[in-house]
Amino acid sequence: MKTIYVDNNATTQVAPEVLESMLPFFKDLYGNPSSIHFFGGQVTRHINVAREKVAALLGCDPMEIVFTSCGTEGDNFSIRGVLEAYPMKKHIITTKVEHPAVKNTCEYLAKRGYFLTELSVNKEGMLNLDELRESIREDTGIVSIMYANNETGVIFPIEEIGQIVKEHNIIFHVDAVQAVGKIPVNLKNSTIDLLTLSGHKLHTPKGIGAQFIRRGTKIRPFVIGGHQEKGRRGGTENVPYIVGLGTACELAMKNIEKENVYVRRLRDKLENSLLANTPNARLNGRKTMRLPNTSNLSFEYVEGEAILLHLSELGICASSGSACTSGSLEPSHVLRAMGVPFTAAHGSVRFSLSIYNTEEEIDYIIEQTPPIIKTLREISPFGRKELKESLK
C-alpha cells in the first residue's frame, strides 16, 4: 500500500537535503562548540552558518535567533520569559484558537495569579481587533497570537495586530510554527518582538526549533544552564539538528513559491472537488487569507475518527478535530470557538499538503473520500431527513 501523506501540519517528511547535511555531525564532527580546541571550533562555524540561514528566511539579524528544542519550548520561553522579566505585568492577551503550547501555558499562568484575556473569533475564524483594543490594560505584559492556525490554516493580520500592540508598548509574541516556510514571513520592519518556529513543520526531524528575539527585548531564559546561545538558552547545542534546520530554512526560501502556487493549486483542487461531490460538506475557516496547504472540511452526521480510519486503510493520512481522535471528549477548541455546530465539528477532517504531494495522490483522495462518507452515513442514525432534502 502506498502512503499518501496529507498531514503536514502535524509533521513533515524530512527533506533528503536536510538529512544529508546533518549526517557528518553524527559521525566525525562531534565536537562541542563550546570547546577551545579546533575540533570544537569547526562545529561552531557550522552553527553560525545555520543561524544565518534561519535569519535569512525570516529577514532578521542572525544574533536575534536562539535555537530551541521545539515550538512548545519557544512558546513557553516567550510567554514565561517575558512575564518573568516584567514582574509588575500581570495580564496576558491571547486568542481562543491558539495551539496548546500557548493556550495551556497561559491557562497555567492564569491559575498562578495572572489575568488572562482570550480573544474570540467569528465563524470564519477571524479576530475582532476592537476586542483586542478594549482588552489592553495598564498591566498587560504580553500579547501572544498565532500567525496561522494549525487546524484551519486561517492567517491572522499579524502586522495590523502588532500596530495596536506596539501603540501600547507591549511585547508581541507570535507563534509562527505553521506559517514559516508556507508563507513569506519577514521580520524586518515588523512589529513582532518574539517569534517561534519549529523545524519538523518544515522538513527537519523532530526536536529542533528556533526563537526570534528582537534586539533589545527584555526576556529571561527558560532553560537555565550554561552560557550557550549568549546565555539565552542553556544546554549543549543540538548540532546536527541545528545544521538541519539551517538547510531546511534555505530550502524553504527556495520552495516558498512552489508552496504558494503548486501546493495551493492541489489544495484547491482537493477542496473544491470534495465540497462539490459530497453532500452536506462544508469548509471550516475563511477561504481567503489562509495557508496554501491546509483544508479543513466537515462532513456532517459522521464522526471524524471513523473517516480517518477508513482513509488510513487506504494509505491516506489526514487528521481530525473530532473528540474521539484526541482522547478528550470534546471536539476541537478551534472549531468550537468558531461556533461550528456539533454536527459538523465531530465530522471534521484536516488535509494539509506539502510540496512532496503529487497530482495522482490528490486525485486518489478525491476518488476515495466520498464513498467513505456515504458508507458511514448509512450507519449513522442522524441526518437522513436532512440529507434527503439536500439531495433533492
**Active site residues per annotation:** 324
- 261: buried, middle or exposed (CB in 10 Å: 19+, 13-18, 0-12)? exposed
> Do strands 209-213 and 281-283 pair parallel, antiparallel, or not at all (unpaired)?
unpaired
Q: Which is nearer to another protein, 153 or 304 (CB)?
A: 304
How far is the C-alpha of 114 from the C-alpha of 123, rounded, in Å?
A: 29
Selected from 331, 335, 337, 365, the binder of another protein by CB under 8 A is: 331
Q: Say whether residue 303 binds another protein (CB under 8 A).
A: yes
Q: Give the shortest CB-71-to-another protein separation in angstroms.
A: 21
Question: Is 247 or 319 the residue whose CB approaches another protein more closely?
Answer: 319
Q: Does 246 bind another protein (CB under 8 A)?
A: no
Element (DSSP H or E) covering residue 283: strand 281-283
Pick from 66, 185, 302, 338 the residue near another protein by CB under 8 A.
Answer: 302
Q: Which of 20, 382, 389, 390 binds another protein (CB under 8 A)?
A: 382
Binding mask 101-140 toward another protein (x if CB under 8 A, else -) reads: ---------xxxx-x-------------------------
Closest Cα partner for 252 from 196, 179, 308? 179
Smallest gap from residue 269 Cβ to another protein (A): 28
Q: Which is nearer to another protein, 33 or 347 (CB)?
A: 347
Task: Copy the grid coordinates of residue 63.
Answer: 544574533
Tell me the per-residue interface mask from 50 to 89 with another protein, x by CB under 8 A, - otherwise: ----------------------------------------
- Quick one: DSSP state of residue 207? S
Q: Which grid cell is 376?
A: 458511514
What are the grid coordinates assigned to 160, written together? 495590523
Q: Taking CB under 8 A as the rule, does residue 323 contact another protein?
A: yes
Query: Could you tell me where the DSSP H helices lie in the chain?
Result: 16-22, 38-58, 71-85, 100-110, 129-135, 158-167, 239-258, 264-277, 304-313, 323-326, 333-337, 342-345, 359-379, 384-391
Binding site for another protein (CB under 8 A): 110-113, 115, 301-306, 309-310, 313, 322-325, 327-331, 342-343, 346, 378-382
